[in-house]
């Protein structure tokens, strides 16, 4: 019930209020650069308590790599990663021994496992275990980089509102929870991944998407809207021998097999089942209907935390497909560095001055208390937003391992994305490469 994969295999274990949760990954090629720092970005995006509308429960979520990694590289042996559960309040769930929460797995778990299930915080059914899914996704994404595959999920709407804040405000006003719609785009998938019928690429992705708690639907390409189109409208005309099509109504998959165009699909996320509103439910001790007011710490809108989880399960399906197609070797080419790299943009003159010293502290550090960094995919956006028309810029490649204890990922107040911040001066020794950026 908690295993997946043909060649790239995963096992997920643990409960929400148990001592630890974790994963075992089998079939990962040897030679993949992997350190705890590689996981921080996506784990921070998933965390509760970092943004309005999410649970106040906060866990450190620092990955404890137990096996399968040596000297910063995967060995080819199974990878075991643990996460500690430290911030639990199990007393909030005592009443659930008699009154199962509507919309949760409490009732069916009790029936299936004869009352032996760990009911605290939802036990093995809890969204807490999406931490494990994200960690699996980090490894899968790193593998897919060797194929040139990139995955990005975004929130399209919350309770039907394109504005996330407006959608959340409706929930707050109603003192209830809300859901949302997310889209996911995958670039770089070549022609030929997936199998017809029972192992179609849509089937594999969909199976894993529904492993995410709260997912209620998925559609590829035009999805259900295709039922209202004519065949001549829906067909994607092929332009060239690379399979490029003029439209992408199929969402990048035909006959269960990738066609070389972007994969595109949307998912529906239900409102959080733990709502502040009193609800009617069965009391299985008395056999009567009872009123339940859910206690504990819960998300107003779980959809806010789903993007990195959706990317993760998509990466898992694609990594397994890639290995089946021998698109990734069983031993990866030796890499120059096993560290996760983050980036900082600075003017040439400022960096020349800083290079004469042992540390770099920008002028704004005194007032803000941090140095703005970015991930590779965010560099172009940062330049466009802050440095249009500015010349003589440098891009610093920074070894995250050297600044890990001071590195934090936080949401931008104006962009719905997560950026690394350095809460300390930057040691010059942490800078691996200084790249000259082209003039604007």
Q: Which residues pair with 154 in a beta bridge?
A: 183
364 & 307 share domain = no
- Ramachandran area for residue 34 (φ above 0: left; ψ -120 to 50: alpha; else beta): beta
Greatest mean pLDDT among 246-260, 352-366, 400-414 lies in 246-260
**Domain-located, residue 331:** no
184 & 279 share domain = yes
Reported as a single tens digit per residue, the pLDDT across 178-228 is 999 999 999 999 999 999 999 999 999 999 999 999 999 999 999 999 999
Domain tally for the chain? 2
**Domain-located, residue 63:** yes
349, 392 in Cβ contact below 8 A? Answer: yes
35 & 180 share domain = yes
419, 430 in Cβ contact below 8 A? Answer: no
List helix spans (H) across 178-237: 201-209, 231-234
Q: What is the CATH number of the domain that holds 111?
A: 3.60.150.10
**Domain-located, residue 359:** yes
pLDDT given for residue 338 in this prediction? 54
Domain carrying residue 349? 341-436
Q: Tabulate helix, strand, coil % of the chain (nearest 5).
A: 30, 25, 40
275 & 345 share domain = no
- Ramachandran area for residue 317 (φ above 0: left; ψ -120 to 50: alpha; else beta): alpha
390 & 302 share domain = no
* Entry pTM: 0.79
Domain end position, chosen among 324, 356, 377: 324
Calculated CA dihedral for residues 402, 406, 407, 413, nearest 10 degrees: -150
CA atoms within 13 A on the CB side of 144: 28
316 & 372 share domain = no
404, 62 in Cβ contact below 8 A? Answer: no
pLDDT given for residue 389 in this prediction? 82
pLDDT surpasses 80 at 406: yes
**Rounded Cα distance, 438 and 394, in Å:** 9
pLDDT given for residue 275 in this prediction? 85
- C-beta pairs of 113-120 under 8 Å, 24+ apart in sequence: 118/15, 118/16, 118/17, 118/18, 119/93, 120/15, 120/16, 120/17, 120/88, 120/90, 120/93
Domain end position, chosen among 324, 351, 366: 324
237 & 301 share domain = yes
**Mean of per-residue pLDDT scores for the chain:** 89
Reported as a single tens digit per residue, the pLDDT across 271-312 is 998 888 888 999 988 889 988 877 666 788 999 999 999 999
Reported as a single tens digit per residue, the pLDDT across 84-137 is 998 666 666 666 678 888 888 888 888 899 989 888 878 788 889 999 999 999
405 & 261 share domain = no
pLDDT given for residue 369 in this prediction? 87
Q: Which residues pair with 393 in a beta bridge?
A: 347
305 & 360 share domain = no
Higher pLDDT, 50 or 405: 405
**Domain-located, residue 371:** yes
366 & 282 share domain = no
167 & 298 share domain = yes
When pLDDT is cut at 50, 70 and 90, the band that residue 353 belongs to is confident
Task: Quote the percentage of the chain above a pLDDT of 70.
Answer: 92
What DSSP designation does 148 have?
Answer: T
pLDDT surpasses 70 at 56: no
187 & 82 share domain = yes
Domain end position, chosen among 260, 289, 324: 324
Q: What is the CATH number of the domain that holds 368?
A: 3.20.170.20
**Domain-located, residue 275:** yes
**Domain-located, residue 64:** yes
**Domain-located, residue 239:** yes
**Domain-located, residue 329:** no
pLDDT given for residue 237 in this prediction? 97
Both tokens of 145, joined, read 């980089």
């Amino acid at each position: 019930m908690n295993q997946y994969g043909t060649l790239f295999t995963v096992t997920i274990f643990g409960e929400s209020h148990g001592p630890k949760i974790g994963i075992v990954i089998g079939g990962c090629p040897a030679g993949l650069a992997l350190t705890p720092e590689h996981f921080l970005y996506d784990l921070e995006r998933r965390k509760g308590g970092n943004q309005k509308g999410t649970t106040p429960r906060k866990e450190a979520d620092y990955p404890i790599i137990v096996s399968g990694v040596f000297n910063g590289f995967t060995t080819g042996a199974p990878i075991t990663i643990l996460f500690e559960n430290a911030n639990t309040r199990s007393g909030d769930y005592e009443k659930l021994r008699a009154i199962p929460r509507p919309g949760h797995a409490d009732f069916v778990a009790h029936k299936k496992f004869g009352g032996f299930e760990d009911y605290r915080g939802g036990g093995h059914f809890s969204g807490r275990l999406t931490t494990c899914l994200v960690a699996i996704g980090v490894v899968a994404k790193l593998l897919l980089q060797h194929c040139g595959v990139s995955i990005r999920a975004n929130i399209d709407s919350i309770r039907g509102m394109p504005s996330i804040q407006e959608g959340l405000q409706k929930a707050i006003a109603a003192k209830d929870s809300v859901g949302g719609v997310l889209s996911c785009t995958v670039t770089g998938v070549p022609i030929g991944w997936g199998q017809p019928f029972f192992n179609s690429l849509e089937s594999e992705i969909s199976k894993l998407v529904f492993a995410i708690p709260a997912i209620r639907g998925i559609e590829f390409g035009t999805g259900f809207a295709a039922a209202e189109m004519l065949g001549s409208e829906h067909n994607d005309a092929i332009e060239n021998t690379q399979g490029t099509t003029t439209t992408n109504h199929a969402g990048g998959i035909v006959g269960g097999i990738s066609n070389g165009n972007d994969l595109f699909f949307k998912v529906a996320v239900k409102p959080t089942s733990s709502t502040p509103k009193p609800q009617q439910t069965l009391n299985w001790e008395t056999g009567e209907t009872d009123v339940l007011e859910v206690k504990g710490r819960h998300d107003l809108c779980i959809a806010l935390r789903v993007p990195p989880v959706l990317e993760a399960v998509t990466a898992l399906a694609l990594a397994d497909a890639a290995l089946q197609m021998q698109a990734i070797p069983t031993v990866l080419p030796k890499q120059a560095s096993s560290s996760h790299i983050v980036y900082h943009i600075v003017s040439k003159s400022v960096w020349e001055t800083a290079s004469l010293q042992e540390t770099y502290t920008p002028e704004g550090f005194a007032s803000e208390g941090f140095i703005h960094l970015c991930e590779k995919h965010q560099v172009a956006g940062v330049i466009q937003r802050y440095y249009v028309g500015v010349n003589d810029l440098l891009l610093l490649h920074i070894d995250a391992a050297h600044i890990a204890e001071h590195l934090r990922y936080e949401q931008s107040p104006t962009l719905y994305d997560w950026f690394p911040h350095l809460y300390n001066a930057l040691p010059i020794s942490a800078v691996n490469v200084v790249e000259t950026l082209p003039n604007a």
